[in-house]
Structure 1
Amino acid sequence: MSRDRGSALSTTSYAILGLLSVRSWSTYELAQQMDRSLGRIWPRAKSKIYEEPKKLVRHGLARAERQLVGRRPRTVYAITPEGRQRLAAWLHEPGDGPQLECEQLLQVFFAEAGTRADTLATLHAAHTWAVERNQGNLAAAREYRAGQGPFPERAAQLLLVSRFLTDYYRLVSEWADWAAHIVADWPDDPSVAVVDADQFAETVRRAEWGRVERFL
């Protein structure tokens, strides 16, 4: 397997390669599946998703087959043996950790430039986002628990991701509620708000949980 071929792949490439390891897909189906599942943990523009399978074909990691659906042509992509090897090699090395990107948290970070009402509205939006996102997560979890998920053979793997998303959405919701309780006592001008010493001490205490160690 060529080192040059492997070095050209991005994490999005591996995401598509992983989907192809599950089954064959058209680019339209890949875009739908990315939006429905992987989009919650690796969101990417549809234009990027449409380009990735072609790149995998160029690197010999996938193959393309032209098919007719009625009178409409479509291209279906399938993983190659070399693609499975490359996917396995990628899984062998731990990936990078999460990169948090949250506009609402950024707005809270600069809350002093606005008003207390602005910050409360942002926190309400964060809570609403978490509840709404979890609805889809809950529906999928119930579907798999009932044995009706689209890929029941992958339930063991999907459980791990579902638990992460469940706890993450709950974290955002509970944090937004806690923060709103704090901000409710602020003056209208957040720039003159005084920190709650007890809450600050509690935050430090909570941050002391972590240390790097082998857990298995």
Structure 2
Amino acid sequence: MTRRADELNTTSFAMLGMLAIRPWSTYELAKHLDRSLRPLWPRARSNLFNEPKKLVVHGLAVAAEEAVGRRPRTVYTITPAGRRALREWLGTPGEGPVLEFEQLLKVFFSDQGSKTDALTAVATIKDWAHDRNAQNIAVARAYLAGTGPFPDRAAVLSVVGQFHTDFADMVSKWADWATTTIEAWPDDPSRAEPDLTFMKRLAERDPDR
């Protein structure tokens, strides 16, 4: 059964969580979503203009028109009902991660292309990991310097930041291994021999650990 467009979903609660931090205009949300939510929930950015309006319809937020110079703007503020709904959502189990990784998809189908294509895909993955951690480092330095935008949330942000950093480190380490492995392939990846050492090591692992 498809979800109705006006129903609340994870993106709705992601936006509600942002409003729980402070009131925002859509311009301010756009600026901070790229910094905070995009690595976790990129769909929030694409629904930026619809979700706050949906929250207002559900009575979870209110909208107020303000003027900045000659330009009007709409500022959204969470309501008490919105805070209750957010707390209820936070107390329920969420879904596990869903990996959407175009570069890795190209590696998955590399036996249909060339060895050069496969190596290029892995190199772009390595670059992504480097860029991701460069952002993580910049955020950490800002908070240590006292210039982070939400110092009162530093405890929570450090926990999530640790995940982002560990994930980027893991991807970088994998990219180094994959590069070495693929470099040993013939020019036609479909003729490459499997890495049975990895397969055997994986098969020996205890799935309950």
Question: Are 2:38 and 2:45, in contact at CA under 8 Å, matched by a contact in 1?
Answer: no
Question: Are 1:140 and 1:149, in contact at CA under 8 Å, matched by a contact in 2?
Answer: yes
AA aligned to 2:138 is: A
The alpha-carbon deviation at position 200 of structure 1 amounts to: 2.3
Look up the match of 2:208: 211
Q: Distance in 2 between matches of 1:70 and 1:10?
A: 35
Look up the match of 1:42: 41
Look up the match of 2:100: 101
Moved >4 Å (runs of 4+) = none
Task: For residue 75 of structure 1, give the secondary structure of its aligned residue in structure 2.
Answer: strand
Q: Structure 1 unaligned runs (5+)? A: 1-6
Residue 199 of structure 1 pairs with residue 198 of structure 2:
yes
Q: TM-score, normalised by structure 1?
A: 0.90
Look up the match of 1:134: 133
The alpha-carbon deviation at position 147 of structure 1 amounts to: 2.8
Report the count of equivalent residues: 204
Q: Distance in 1 between matches of 2:76 and 2:104?
A: 39
Which of 44-53 and 71-80 deviates more?
Answer: 44-53
Task: For residue 38 of structure 2, give the secondary structure of its aligned residue in structure 1.
Answer: helix
AA aligned to 1:9 is: L
Which of 126-135 and 84-93 deviates more?
Answer: 126-135
AA aligned to 1:49 is: L
Q: Structure 2 unaligned runs (5+)? A: 1-5
Instruction: Summarize the Cα distance change of 1:19–1:203 in structure 2 as closer, same or farther, 3 Å threshold.
Output: same
Question: Are 1:31 and 1:50, in contact at CA under 8 Å, matched by a contact in 2?
Answer: no
Q: Distance in 2 between matches of 1:113 and 1:48?
A: 35
Question: Are 2:33 and 2:44, in contact at CA under 8 Å, matched by a contact in 1?
Answer: no
The alpha-carbon deviation at position 203 of structure 1 amounts to: 3.5
Give aligned-pair identity as a percent: 52
Instruction: Summarize the Cα distance change of 1:209–1:36 in structure 2 as closer, same or farther, 3 Å threshold.
Output: farther
C-alpha RMSD over aligned residues: 1.6
Question: Are 2:129 and 2:168, in contact at CA under 8 Å, matched by a contact in 1?
Answer: yes
